């Protein structure tokens, strides 16, 4: 078994600010997440939560330091290799769901396999099983436009989990939902992640949702201020 699911070592991300000033989105962040754990990243808006998730997903690269996913150092990988890693090992859930309106619920869930060139007969059952799991088996052929916010996020979770990623990243997954729906979605995501044996890292503003994680990382102005473990 791998030593860690996600490892950040002295990671800084710097953007060009006004004039010649540099703006740190993350500064010297170091942490290590064990496989199968659920970790909440908390902090105010602009604290660097989303940047951290982008770096973890390999859709952005750190200015300094190293990021490793299940032992694969993202710094050393080119664009294509990072995409390949993302395709194989990483799932992503967005705050605004980002379902494609011209595809049905089923096709939206199947999209990652479609992109990966997997044959339909291979993923057909998996898609059906996931939709069954989130309680939307009857909506498979519907367009996504008719779904509620909670339902859309459940479809998005199915899409993220389709290829059995070892690392699931979620950026404010309940940010667009009311409290009740948010709670349902969060419960479901945690259960499914546990069933799949994946590692979950999610960003949230909510203390309640953060409390559901095994561990919490608190960011403030790009600096990792505190860590807490649910077992503590």
Partner 1 sequence: MLRYFCKTVSAHWRTNPVLYGLTVLGVALGVASVISIRILNQSAVASFAAGVRTIGGAADVVVTGKAGTLPDAFYPLVRGTPGVAAAWPVFESTVTVEGRPGTFARLLGVDLLAPSPELWEALSAFAPGAAAVGGRGWAAATPELARTMGWVPGDRFKVRDGAGVRELRLGALIDFERWGASGGGRALVMDIAGAQSLFGGAGTLHRIGVTAAEGADVPALAARIEERLGGRVDAVTPSERTGQARQLLGAFRLNLTALSLVSLVVGTFLVFSSMRACLVRQRREFGVLRSLGSTPAQVLALILGEAALLGVLGVVIGILAGYWTAVWNLDAVSSTLTNVYMLREIESLEVSGGTLALAVLAGLGGALSGTLLPALDVWRRDTRTLLDTLPARSAGTAVTRTLFRLGLLLVAGAVGWYWFIGWRWRLTGFVLSTAVLLCLPLVTPWLVQRLTGRVRVPDFGFRYGVRSLGATLANTSFSVSSLAMAVCLLVGITLLVESFRETLVRWVNRSLTADVFVTATVGARPGPNATLSPRLVERLAGGPDVEDVAPLRRLVLRVEGRRLAVVGVDLGRPAARRRLALLSSGDAVGRAVRDRGVLIGEPLSRGASVTVGDTVEIEGPAGPVRLPVSGVYRDYTQGGSVTMDLGLMAETLGSGSLTSIALVLRPGADPEAVAAGIESRYPRDSLRVRSNRRLKEDIFNVFDQTFAVTRILQVMSLIIAACAITLTLLVVAQEKASEIALYRTLGAFRRQVFLLFVSKGTAMAFLGLTLGFAGGIGLGAILIFVIQKSYFGWSIEWTWPWLPLAGEALAIVCAAVLASLYPAFRASRTPANELCHADA
Binding residues (CB under 8 A) for partner 1: these are 50, 53-54, 57, 59-60, 79-80, 83-84, 86-88, 92, 94-96, 98-102, 107, 111-112, 114-117, 119-120, 145, 159, 163, 171-172
Q: Which helix (H) or strand (E) holds 170?
A: strand 167-171
Whose Cβ is closer to partner 1: residue 87's or residue 220's? 87
Tally the C-alpha atoms within 13 A of residue 212's C-alpha that lie toward its C-beta. 21
For the bound state, the minimum distance from the C-beta of residue 100 to partner 1, rounded and expressed in Å, comes to 6
Whose Cβ is closer to partner 1: residue 64's or residue 87's? 87
Whose Cβ is closer to partner 1: residue 19's or residue 117's? 117
Whose Cβ is closer to partner 1: residue 171's or residue 188's? 171
For the bound state, the minimum distance from the C-beta of residue 150 to partner 1, rounded and expressed in Å, comes to 18
For the bound state, the minimum distance from the C-beta of residue 231 to partner 1, rounded and expressed in Å, comes to 31
Whose Cβ is closer to partner 1: residue 118's or residue 230's? 118
Q: What are the CA-CA distances from residue 12 to residues 27, 51, 77, 197 (Å)?
A: 4, 10, 18, 30
For the bound state, the minimum distance from the C-beta of residue 45 to partner 1, rounded and expressed in Å, comes to 9
For the bound state, the minimum distance from the C-beta of residue 121 to partner 1, rounded and expressed in Å, comes to 10
For the bound state, the minimum distance from the C-beta of residue 157 to partner 1, rounded and expressed in Å, comes to 14
- How many other C-beta atoms can be found within 10 angstroms of the C-beta atom of residue 64? 14
Whose Cβ is closer to partner 1: residue 199's or residue 215's? 199
Residues 130-147, buried b or exposed e (16+ Cβ, 10 A)?
bbebbebeebbeebbeeb
Beta pairing partners, 201: 39, 169
Whose Cβ is closer to partner 1: residue 21's or residue 145's? 145
Q: Do 199 and 168 touch, CB atoms closer than 8 A? A: yes
For the bound state, the minimum distance from the C-beta of residue 209 to partner 1, rounded and expressed in Å, comes to 17
Cβ contacts of 173-181, under 8 Å, gap ≥ 24 = 173/93, 173/94, 173/95, 173/202, 173/204, 174/204, 174/206, 174/209, 175/95, 175/204, 175/205, 176/95, 176/96, 176/97, 176/149, 177/149, 177/150, 177/153, 178/149, 181/148, 181/149, 181/150, 181/153
């Amino acid at each position: 078994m791998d030593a860690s699911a996600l490892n950040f070592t002295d990671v800084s991300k710097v953007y060009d600010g006004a004039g010649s000033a540099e703006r740190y989105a993350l500064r010297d962040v170091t942490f290590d997440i064990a496989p199968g754990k659920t970790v909440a990243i908390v902090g105010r808006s602009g604290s660097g939560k989303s940047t951290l998730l982008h770096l973890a997903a390999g859709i952005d690269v750190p200015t300094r330091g190293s990021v490793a996913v299940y032992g694969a150092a993202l710094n050393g990988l080119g664009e294509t290799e990072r995409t390949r890693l993302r395709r194989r090992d990483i799932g992503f859930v967005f705050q605004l769901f980002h379902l494609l309106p011209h595809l049905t619920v089923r096709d939206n869930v199947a999209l990652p396999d479609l992109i990966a060139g997997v044959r339909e007969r291979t993923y057909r059952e998996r898609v059906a099983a996931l939709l069954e799991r989130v309680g939307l088996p009857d909506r498979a052929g519907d367009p996504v436009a008719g779904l509620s916010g909670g339902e859309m996020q459940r479809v998005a979770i199915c899409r993220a989990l389709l290829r059995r990623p070892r690392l699931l990243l979620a950026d404010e997954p309940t940010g667009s939902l009311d409290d009740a729906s948010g709670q349902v979605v969060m419960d479901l995501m945690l259960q499914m992640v546990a069933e799949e044996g994946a590692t979950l890292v999610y960003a949230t503003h909510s203390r309640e949702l953060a409390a559901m994680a095994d561990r919490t990382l608190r960011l403030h102005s790009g600096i990792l201020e505190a860590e807490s473990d649910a077992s503590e």
